[in-house]
Structure 1
Amino acid sequence: MAGLALSACGGSSGSSSSSGPVDSPLPPDPQPEPIPDSAEPGPIPPRGLHLSFVGDSHTSRTVTWFTDGLEPPQSRLEFGVVEEGMSEADIAEQVFEHFVDASADETPGVESFTHRATAAGIDAEKPMRYRVGSDEGGWSPVYVVAPSPRGEWSFIHFGDHGIGDLPQQLTAEVLKTPADLIMIAGDLSYANGDQPIWDTWFEQMEPLLARRITMTAPGNHEQKDFGGEAFKNRFTHPPKPLSSVIGQGSPGSSFYSFDYNRVHFLVTTAGALINDGTLVEEIINIEVDLAQAALRRARGEIDFIVVMQHYTIWTDQLGRSPANPTLVALEENIMLRYGVDLLAVGHDHVYQRSKPMGLGLPNPLGYVQVLVGTGGASIRLFDENGPQIWSAAEFIGVGFCRYAVSPGKIRGEYYGSPPLDLSDEGRQYITGDFSLQDSFEISAKPQIACQLCAKPARSSDILLADYEAISRHTRERNRHDLRHC
Structure 2
Amino acid sequence: MLIVYSKHRLPKTLLGLVVLVILCTSSRCETSGRKTAPQPRHSRFGNSPLHHGDSDHSAVLNVVRKFSVDHPLGDQDLFSTINRRRLASCSNLYPYAAIAVDTTGQLADVQNVTVTVSGVTKPSDQDWVGVFSPTDANTDACPTESAAMYLQTGDTSSLPLTCHYPVKYKFLNTDPEYISCGKPTCEVSAGSRCFVQTCSGSVSFRLINIRTDVFFVFFTGGLALPCVINASSALSFANPKSPLYGHLSSVDSTGTQMRVTWVSGDSSPQQVKYNGLTATSNVSTFTAASMSSHAANPASDFGWHDPGFIHSAVMIGLTPSTSYIYSFGSDDVGWSKITNFTTPPAVGANSVRVVMYGDMGKAERENASIHYSAPGSIGVVDALTRRNDVDVVLHIGDISYATGFLVEWDSFLELLTPVASKVSYMTAIGNHERDFPGSGSVYTLTDSGGEIGVPYETYFPMPAAAADKPWYSYSSGPIHFTVMSTEHNWTRGSEQYSWLQEDLASVNRTITPWIVFTGHRPMYSSYTSSLDFLLAPVDTNFAPELEPLLLSAKVDIAVWGHVHNYERSCAVFNGTCLGMPTNDSAGIATYNNADYKAPVQIVVGTAGFESNDFGTATPPAWSLARIKDYGYIYIQADRTRLTVQFVSSTSGTVGDQCSFTR
Same fold (TM over 0.5): yes
Per-residue CA deviation, residues 327-360 of structure 1 (Å, 9 max, x unaligned), is 3311112111111111111000111011111111
Q: Report how far residue 385 of structure 1 moved.
A: 5.1
Q: What aligned pairs does 1:74-85 form with structure 2 within 5 A after superposition?
A: 74-80=269-275
Task: Tell me, yes or no, if structure 1 residue 267 matches structure 2 residue 490.
Answer: no
Partner of 1:347: 562
Instruction: State the Cα distance separating 1:279 from its structure 2 match.
Output: 9.3
Instruction: Say if 2:238 is the partner of 1:238.
Output: no
Cross-structure match for 1:163: 362
SS at match of 2:542: helix
1:404 corresponds in structure 2 to: 636
Determine helix, strand or coil for the equivalent of 1:325: coil
User: Relative to structure 1, is the Cα distance of residues 441 and 125 closer, same or farther in structure 2, using a 3 angstrom cutoff?
Assistant: closer
- Assess if the C-alpha contact under 8 Å between 1:100 and 1:118 holds in 2: yes
Separation (CA, whole Å) in 1 of partners of 2:431 and 2:526: 19
Matches within 5 A, 1:5-24: none
For the pair 1:61 / 2:258, whether they are aligned, the reply is yes
Shift of 1:376: 1.5
Percent identity of paired positions between Structure 1 and Structure 2: 24
Q: Mark the structure with the bigger radius of gyration.
A: 2
The answer to whether 1:433 aligns with 2:651 is yes
Separation (CA, whole Å) in 1 of partners of 2:603 and 2:538: 17
| AA partner of residue 629 (structure 2) | G
Aligned residues: 357
- Secondary structure of the residue aligned to 2:431 is coil
Correspondent of 1:123 among 316, 319, 323: 319
Query: What SS is found at the alignment partner of 2:404?
Result: coil
Residue type of the alignment partner of 2:249? S
| 8 Å contact kept, 1:416–1:436 | yes
**Kept in 2: contact 1:415–1:437 (CA 8 A):** yes
In 2, distance between residues paired with 1:208 and 1:147?
Answer: 14
Whole-angstrom distance in 2 between the partners of 1:280 and 1:125? 37
RMSD between superposed Cα atoms in Å: 2.2
3-state DSSP of counterpart to 2:264 = strand
Quote the residue 2:498 is aligned against.
284
1:138–1:401 CA distance, 2 compared to 1 (3 A): same
Partner of residue 202, structure 1: 413
- Are 1:43 and 1:136, in contact at CA under 8 Å, matched by a contact in 2? no
Q: How does 1:370-449 map to 2 (within 5 A)?
A: 370-384=602-616, 386-416=618-648, 432-444=650-662
Cα contact 2:478–2:513 (8 A) shared by 1: yes
SS in 1 for 2:452: helix
CA 1:278/1:389 → structure 2, altered by over 3 Å: closer, same or farther?
closer
CA distance in 2 between partners of 1:289 and 1:111 (Å):
35
Q: CA deviation at 1:321?
A: 4.2
Q: TM-score, normalization: structure 1?
A: 0.70
Which position in structure 2 is the counterpart of 1:334?
549
Aligned 8 A contact 2:326 2:340 in 1: yes
Structure 2: where are the runs of 5+ without partners? 1-237, 289-305, 364-374, 435-447, 530-534, 580-596
Letter in 2 for 1:362: C
**What is the SS of the residue equivalent to 1:356?**
strand
The 4+ residue runs of structure 1 with deviation greater than 4 A are 320-323
Between Structure 1 and Structure 2, the one with more helix by share is 1
Q: Distance in 2 between matches of 1:391 and 1:111?
A: 43
Alignment of 1:160-199 (within 5 A): 160-164=359-363, 165-177=375-387, 178-199=389-410
Supply the distance in 1 between the matched residues of 2:416 and 2:634 (Cα, whole angstroms).
Answer: 18
CA contact (8 A) 1:232 1:253 kept: no
Q: How many Å separate the matches in 2 of 1:121 and 1:239? A: 22
CA distance, structure 1, for counterparts of residue 561 and residue 525 of structure 2: 10
Range with greater deviation from structure 2 (371-380 or 103-112): 103-112
Q: CA deviation at 1:262?
A: 2.0
Q: Is the 8 A contact 1:75 1:101 kept in 2?
A: yes
Distance 1:327 1:201 in 2: 30
* AA of the residue aligned to 1:226: E
Larger RCO, structures 1/2 (Cα 8 Å, 6+ apart): 1
> How far apart are residue 323 of structure 1 and its match?
4.8
Please say if residues 185 and 216 of structure 1, whose CA atoms lie closer than 8 Å, have aligned partners that are also in contact: yes
Match of 2:85 in 1: none
Which residue is 2:185 aligned to?
none
Deviation string 1:42-91 (CA, Å, 9 cap, x unpaired) is: 551111211001123421111011112xx5132111111xxxxxxxxxxx
Shift, 1:112, TM fit = 1.2
For the pair 1:133 / 2:329, whether they are aligned, the reply is yes
TM-score by length of 2: 0.52
Alignment of 1:21-40 (within 5 A): none
Query: AA paired with 2:637?
Result: V
Give the structure 2 partner of residue 8 of structure 1: none
Match of 1:154 among 331, 336, 353: 353
C-alpha separation in 2, matches of 1:56 and 1:304: 15
Matched, 1:114 2:310: yes
**Which AA in structure 1 matches 2:242?**
P
